[in-house]
Chains A and B, each alone.
Chain A
Amino acid sequence: MKPVPGSDIVREMFTIFCAAVVLGLAYNRSSPLGISFSEPASASAAAPAGKMVASPEALLPAESDPALHNETITAVIVSSGPQTQELAARQLPASLPWTEVKSLLANGTIVLVDGREVSAYQAGHIPGAISLPLQTLADKIGLFSAHYPRNKPLVVYCASIRCLISQAEAAALTGQYGYQNVREMPGGFAEWRVAEPSVTPATGDNP
């Protein structure tokens, strides 16, 4: 019986795929930066706002990614009261992971700014975030600053850890427009999606 033309190649390709699956899953299991296939630990397990957080590591999910976490291994003290909250925000590091942003957003300490384009914001954004695209920053900053004074702490995010918008926008808000407390959430929308898989992204225009 004559073999079907190309069947050898298909069989070899299938073998390559199986090898990749076996190697990939084995490596993923052994890697400290491997992907968890179980439901990610919810950031809601973090300490509630207004309490002193002695160990910021406790705020991080169990599968915390050092790359997303960046250099934010510093003590965060958030207590109630606007003045102390502002003081606490000043003491925050230049970049924050979502686990820390979450509690600050929940108690109104910070304004979460989405630096992506309007279309990306409309398609899906972190609930409570305000759209302020970097590309139209100069046009929209007047309206934005009318709502949010320059001493209001801001946290800017974009799509993911490698997008550069949040970094550039944080620099522009600080250097050009005089905002005093601007931080970056480097993991961006992707970090939020990973940390909060059960939460549906908000859609539509600015509130």
Chain B
Amino acid sequence: MKIDFTFDLNLRNVLRWILGTVLVWAALGKLANLQEFYALLVAYQLPLPDALLRFTGAVLPWLELLCGWLLFTGFRLKAGLGWTVILLFIFAICSGQAWWRGLHIACGCLDLRLVGIRPGSGMAGWLESVGFAFLRALVLLAAAVYLVRRQFAPSLSEQN
């Protein structure tokens, strides 16, 4: 049992760091050009007021950055995980509906230029498609939900 517990603890840390890295990556790309991010939000053609889209464009990157930092450091982890689940759920809904509607838009999630992938290349088109973004959001959401369940579950010492 001890081996399982150690493995689980490591898995939790790895998932936490992966989610934190993804959120910080997503935030930095948006913060580099808020207007571009706003234009990408508009491209989703969501039935939302323009003022809300502008507010989202300004605030969402910082929410991602704060969540990523909290996940990475483990500080206020439960609150950070709570926001992470909410954000990933919204990402999944938005990218999923765009995929369903057949919108050929970039998801605007991760700026691939930060890892040296040039926009316009075939690989970038695939990685930035809303279909891939939807599947990625589901996987990350599953990881975040797993972490929430583990984090909020009573510890072994409390159960005994």
Which A residues have a C-beta under 8 Å from some C-beta of B?
9, 12-13, 15-17, 19-21, 23-25, 27-28, 31, 33-37, 63, 65, 67-68, 116-117, 119-120, 123-124, 158-165, 167, 187-191, 193-194, 197
Determine whether B116 belongs to the interface, using a CB cutoff of 8 Å to chain A. Answer: no
Contacts of A163 in B (CB 8 A): 43, 104-106
B interface SS class:
helix
Binds A, one of B6-14, B31-39, B135-143: B31-39
Q: In the complex the two chains form, is A20's CB within 8 Å of B57's CB?
A: no
Q: In the complex the two chains form, is B43's CB within 8 Å of A188's CB?
A: yes
Tell me the number of A-to-B contacts counted with CB atoms below 8 Å: 134
Q: In the complex the two chains form, is B128's CB within 8 Å of A34's CB?
A: no
Q: In the complex the two chains form, is A12's CB within 8 Å of B39's CB?
A: no
Contacts A120-B103, A164-B125; A20 near B66 (Cβ below 8 A): yes
Q: In the complex the two chains form, is A35's CB within 8 Å of B34's CB?
A: yes
Contacts of B51 in A (CB 8 A): 37
Determine whether B117 belongs to the interface, using a CB cutoff of 8 Å to chain A. Answer: no
Determine whether B101 belongs to the interface, using a CB cutoff of 8 Å to chain A. Answer: yes
- Size band of the B side of the interface? 35 or more
Beta-carbon nearest neighbor of A29 in chain B: B58
Contacts of A13 in B (CB 8 A): 79, 82-83
- Digitize B17-50: 1 where CB-to-A-CB distance is under 8 Å, 0 elsewhere: 0000000000000011111101110110100001
A interface SS class:
helix
Q: In the complex the two chains form, is B63's CB within 8 Å of A120's CB?
A: no
Contacts A34-B34, A158-B104, A159-B105; A65 near B39 (Cβ below 8 A): yes
Determine whether B108 belongs to the interface, using a CB cutoff of 8 Å to chain A. Answer: yes
Contacts A23-B62, A35-B57; A159 near B104 (Cβ below 8 A): yes
Q: For chain B residues 58-88, which have a beta carbon within 8 Å of chain A?
A: 58-63, 66-67, 70, 76, 78-80, 82-83
Q: In the complex the two chains form, is B35's CB within 8 Å of A24's CB?
A: no
Q: In the complex the two chains form, is B58's CB within 8 Å of A68's CB?
A: no
Which residue of B43, B60, B80, B119 contacts A159 across the interface (Cβ within 8 Å)?
B43
Contacts of A12 in B (CB 8 A): 76, 78-79
Which residue of A16, A27, A68 contacts B70 across the interface (Cβ within 8 Å)?
A16
Beta-carbon nearest neighbor of A124 in chain B: B45
Q: In the complex the two chains form, is A160's CB within 8 Å of B63's CB?
A: no
Sorted from nearest, which 6 A-B pairs have the closest CB atoms? A162-B106, A12-B79, A160-B43, A24-B59, A28-B58, A20-B63
> Min CB distance, A195 to chain B, in Å?
10
